[in-house]
Amino acid sequence: MESTNKNYDFGASLTRIDEILDASNDSFEESDSIVDRSKLTYTNGFYVKATALFVDIRDSSNMTDAHKRPVLAKIYRSFISEMVALMNGHPTCKEVNINGDCVWCVCDTKCKTDIDGVFALAAQACSLVDILNFKLKKRGYQTYEVGVGLDYGRALMIKAGNKGSGLNDVVWMGDVVNQACHLCNEANSGYFDKRVFLSNVIYDNLNDKNKNLCSKDGGRNIYQADVINIGMSDWLKRQ
């Protein structure tokens, strides 16, 4: 968020703190699907069922040793640009967020087939990274790996920021976001780890074809997968 440089009013700040902390706990509603941002205020919130997908660059600190900042900027910019474009183009995607070199989205998965759709989106993300690495290697730039995490569950969706300043955003709270982030951090971090880590609830809702692409990680009680998008992979093979 870009600063508006509005003067800080200490008295108004004290009032806002009390208003926020004294707000009714009854203003938080349940919803089976993700609500429109326009329904959010600074005093309400919605518990929604959703799927979270996280994609994060592995060991990005190593790239700082290999390249100067203008090159690093291009590497990060290309990853973030196209990962955002990919997620934003998915029909169930409702929110896309950028945190450093991690791009993640929240998807409105009301049907089991929607879960398969987000799993396919994870496969596209993996193929996109392969294509990005192909283009980086052609230019003599360092390639990278990613971890991908998926989970489904209940999240609290709220509007947060400074009322009246124009500085606000939607904040997602709950286990589904935390778990997807954790799975993303764990994915592809060890020698035998695969790129995609998914929770049991995601696996249980996949169709049989997609289940067959996954393997059980009993030690961590999750599932792993190395998946790609065939069309994108075929393009890469022709290069």
Yes or no: say if 179 and 197 are a contact pair by the CB < 8 Å rule: no
Pull the structure tokens for residue 100.
């450093």
Residue 64: pLDDT band (50, 70, 90) is low
Compute the mean pLDDT over every residue in the chain, rounded to the nearest whole number. Answer: 93
Yes or no: say if 195 and 126 are a contact pair by the CB < 8 Å rule: yes
% of the chain beyond a pLDDT of 90: 76
Yes or no: say if 80 and 103 are a contact pair by the CB < 8 Å rule: yes
* Dist CA 28 CA 80 (whole Å): 33
Pull the structure tokens for residue 129.
């990274």
Residue 62 pLDDT more than 80?
no
Does some domain include residue 55? Answer: yes
Which residue type, as a one-letter code, is found at position 199? S
* Dist CA 125 CA 229 (whole Å): 8
Does some domain include residue 17? Answer: no
Residue 187 pLDDT more than 80?
yes
Residue 164 pLDDT more than 80?
no
Does some domain include residue 8? Answer: no
Degrees, nearest 5: CA angle 232-237-239: 100
Does some domain include residue 149? Answer: yes
Residue 139 pLDDT more than 70?
yes
Looking at the structure of the chain, the number of domains it has is 1
The predicted pLDDT at position 67 comes to 65
Does some domain include residue 21? Answer: no
Q: What is the CATH number of the domain that holds 81?
A: 3.30.70.1230
* Dist CA 10 CA 75 (whole Å): 42
Domain containing 175: what range? 28-237
Residue labelled with tokens 């600063």: 3
The predicted pLDDT at position 72 comes to 87
Residue 232 pLDDT more than 90?
yes
What is the phi-psi region of residue 161: left when phi exceeds 0, alpha when psi lies from -120 to 50, beta otherwise?
left
